[in-house]
Structures are given as C-alpha cells and as structure tokens.
C-alpha cells in the first residue's frame, strides 16, 4: 500500500512538472531569457553560465582573495598577511567585481531565491575539489538577525548552505549559530570599523554539538572577512576544530 501511494505521488509530481513546463517554460534565473529544453535543471542560459562559471579564477587558500595564475597559495597572500582571521581557509566562486556583484545583490531579495539556489549549485560544481579536501562534517550559514530576516524575507547564505550541504552530502545546521545582536550593515561601514561592528554578535546554541566539528561556514560575499572571522571565533570558542568559509564572491576593498 505504501509503495503504491509513493508511486502515485511520483506520477502526480511528474505530471505537474510537465504541465508547469508547458504553461511556464523555464527561464534563466539570472537574465530571464527563455531556456531550451536541453538546459536540464541548471536554469542558467549558456551566456550566463559562461559568464558566471569562472573556471580559471585563482584565489588565496587563506582568504580567497584573487591572486596570480600560479594557483592557490599555500599560505597567506598580500591581502591577508597582516590581518588576523579566525577561519582556517576560504573558497570563492570568483571576484565580486568580475560579474558576480549584480548576482549577489539580487540574491538578497526573496523573489530571486531561485538565483541563490543556482549559484549554490554552481559554487559546488566549480569548486568541488577545494570544498571536499577540507573534509567538513557540518555546514552552517552566516545567520541574519531575526528582525532583519523578517523584514527582508530571505537570508541568501541559508539558501546557499542548503545547496552545498545537499550536493556534498554533509549535514546542514541552521540552528547552531545565532546572531543575537543587530549589527549595522557592514556595507555601510569603512573596512576599519567592520571588525568592531560584529564583535560579540554571535552565540552558539547547544555548544556541545559543535565540539570537534569541522565546519563549512557559508556566506554570499567576503570582503574584509570580519563577519566570517567573528563567526569562526565563536565556533572555535565552542570547540570547533576547523572552520572553512565558502562564498559566491570575494570582494577586495570597499
């Protein structure tokens, strides 16, 4: 009986999917152009996929800052050598100023949640080797303060983290890291004030669950690294063994 019900549900879902594609042909999540049937489940047109995939982009292993084509640096690069960052490594899809800026800004709106899903899938596809080499065993998104989340309607790191967790086969925990203080938006502050702005902004729910964890911490963009560094410090104070940051874009400077 249970098997029959399951098959019936699968059949209904398949029919619904076919019907929706007939009534509402799939469109690119980035530029909204109509997609051909052969596009599969990517929901990006060929032009946007080529523009956003950035296969030849190189980033520092420590902070994901863009470096020369010599590859991923083993230690700190000129961008992070004089900064105390509490996370152990960072991985980015590409530069914030190389076509990803508009995408990151649009992902912050609830009506562009599909774009956040696609960018999470693209991050895994393009940086899977780097993501897996750290052997993380839990995925945690950078949280948003509850009032701001209520007003905005979406927290794009939540969506990205869900994609990474599903694709990598790693448990997702959205409830462990909590932003208990409503900080000023980092984008409105000069780099010199950003570390101070987020100091003490996070706390851990049930610290015992973080003990010895190898955390993949997910955000949409990394600029000075202040927010992710403070979150990593909070996680390590609770017992996390390692924190690696994954972002869609790495910004440099303001």
Q: Which domains does the chain have, with CATH numbers?
A: 60-105+130-250 (3.40.50)
CB–CB of 81/68 below 8 Å? no
CA distance 121 to 222: 18
Per-residue confidence of the chain (254 residues) as pLDDT tens digits? 545 544 545 444 443 443 444 445 688 888 888 887 655 556 888 888 888 877 666 788 899 988 876 545 546 787 888 888 999 999 999 888 767 899 999 998 888 888 899 999 999 999 999 999 999 999 999 999 988 888 888 999 999 999 999 999 999 999 999 999 988 888 888 888 899 989 999 999 988 999 999 999 999 999 999 999 999 999 999 999 999 999 999 987 55
Q: Is 246:123 a contact under the CB 8 Å cutoff?
A: yes
CA 247 vs. chain centroid, Å, equals: 5
Neighbour count for residue 212 (Cβ, 10 Å): 9
Q: What is the pTM of this model?
A: 0.84
DSSP states of 130-183: HHHHTT--EEEEPP--HHHHHHHS--HHHHHHHHHHHHHT--B-SSSEEE-S-P
pLDDT in the model for residue 20: 41
């Amino acid at each position: 009986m249970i098997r029959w019900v399951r098959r019936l549900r699968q059949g209904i879902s398949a029919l619904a999917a076919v019907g929706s594609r007939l009534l509402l042909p799939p469109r690119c999540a980035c530029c909204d152009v109509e997609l051909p049937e052969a596009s599969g489940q990517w929901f990006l047109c060929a032009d946007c996929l080529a523009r956003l995939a950035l296969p030849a982009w190189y980033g520092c292993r420590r902070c994901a800052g863009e470096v020369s084509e010599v590859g991923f640096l083993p230690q700190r690069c000129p961008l992070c050598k004089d900064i105390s960052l509490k996370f152990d490594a960072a991985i980015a899809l590409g530069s914030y100023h190389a076509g990803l800026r508009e995408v990151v800004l649009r992902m912050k709106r609830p009506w562009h949640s599909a774009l956040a899903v696609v960018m999470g899938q693209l991050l895994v596809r393009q940086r899977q080797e780097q993501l897996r080499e750290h052997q993380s065993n839990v995925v945690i998104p950078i949280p948003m303060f509850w009032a701001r989340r209520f007003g905005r309607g979406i927290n794009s790191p939540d969506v990205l983290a869900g994609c990474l967790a599903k694709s990598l086969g790693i448990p997702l925990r959205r409830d462990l890291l909590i932003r208990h203080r409503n900080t000023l938006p980092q984008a409105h502050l000069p780099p010199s004030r950003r570390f101070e702005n987020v100091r003490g902004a996070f706390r851990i729910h049930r610290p015992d669950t973080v003990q010895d964890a190898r955390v993949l911490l997910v955000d949409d963009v990394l600029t000075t690294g202040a927010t992710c560094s403070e979150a990593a410090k909070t996680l390590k104070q609770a017992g996390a063994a390692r924190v690696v940051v994954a972002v869609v874009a790495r910004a440099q400077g303001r």
